[in-house]
Amino acid sequence: MSLVQYSDSDSEDAGDKELCLPTPTTATAPTAAKRKRAASIDLPPLPAAFHDLYAVGARVGTTDDPSLHGGRKRAIPHIEGNWPSHVYIEWQPTPHESTALLSLLTHIRTLLVQHSPNNPPNLTPLLHTPLSTPLPLHISLSRTLHLKTPTRTPFLASLTAHITSARVPPFRLAFHSLKWVPNALRNRWFLVLRLARPEGDALNRLLGACNAAVGGSGFSGLYEGGEGDGPQDAGSGGDGSEGQDGAGKTDYSDFFHVSIAWNLEEPRPEWIALVESVDFRTLVRDPEARVEAVKVRIGNVVHCIGLDARGGGVGRGRGRGRGRGRGGLGLR
């Protein structure tokens, strides 16, 4: 018997019928003790791959309409058959870490308003969706790539092989400083936490592996220059130039960062100096979780390449909707 008995819409007296639900009896109603025991049961944690299932937001349009995206403009035009792709390390702040980051942003906003009460910058946090759902943050290991349909599988295989060959074990992140940097087109500014060089130079090794795979697919690597690259003013010397490590390899340690907020207006020099003077460590600690994987978003599908000195594997989680070769907005 169904729980709800629907009236026959074809019947002439359907308007006189009522929908009814079965009334719980004393025998089937849970007792207070049973409810208490059920509430005390600890559910197992969700698998890590679950969080990748809806990692890509729903597309709201393919035209360049900044009003749909807080004033942001499309960096790369939408082309049917292109799959916007991105290689990155994900950091999902804990509730405590998220609260600390919000406190830091509130503190910075207060300082900026005190300094420029008539025209403070309009900072937009990157920590939550408009519905207050927590968002993961990321460290980029590639620029936005636009893969053609036939190249998706070969690219993922090449990237997996290069990252596995790098033999980078899991590692921890540590923050170095607070900075305000522009994107390559200087039409959007990001408030970022720069990262310290991790043990084993893991970030440079992973970036080298990713740039090798990206270069083999006909794209330019991240931080190697060129249009569409990431923030270029992240260097400690203020000129965005990279140095050399002891082995003569390019050292991009000054560029790795986590973006926590953005704004469209170019910050004034005094705003930039004010932000850099903030002692963020009084409010924010280094991330608790270790980096154990590199993630690859291809269209609306997120792949996960595990880090392990003995090699890694690939898992896959599907984003919202079905992939049809339609790209997102490529906003940055």
Residue of 111, 107, 140 whose CA lies nearest to 125:
107
Please give the Cα distance from 121 to 259 (Å, whole number): 16
In order of 131, 194, 293, the CA distances from 164 in angstroms are: 38, 26, 11
Q: Which pair of structure tokens corresponds to residue 147?
A: 């893969």
Please give the Cα distance from 87 to 141 (Å, whole number): 5
Half-sphere exposure of 143 (CA within 13 A, CB side): 24
- Residues designated as active site: 138, 257
Please give the Cα distance from 257 to 194 (Å, whole number): 4
Please give the Cα distance from 28 to 23 (Å, whole number): 10
Residue of 280, 182, 158 whose CA lies nearest to 231:
182
- Other CB atoms within a 10 A radius of the CB of residue 205 amount to 17
The SS3 of residue 183 is coil
- Other CB atoms within a 10 A radius of the CB of residue 303 amount to 21
- Other CB atoms within a 10 A radius of the CB of residue 109 amount to 16
Residue 316 phi/psi, 5-degree rounding, is -140, 140
Please give the Cα distance from 72 to 80 (Å, whole number): 21
- Other CB atoms within a 10 A radius of the CB of residue 300 amount to 23
Q: Across-strand partners of 175?
A: 195
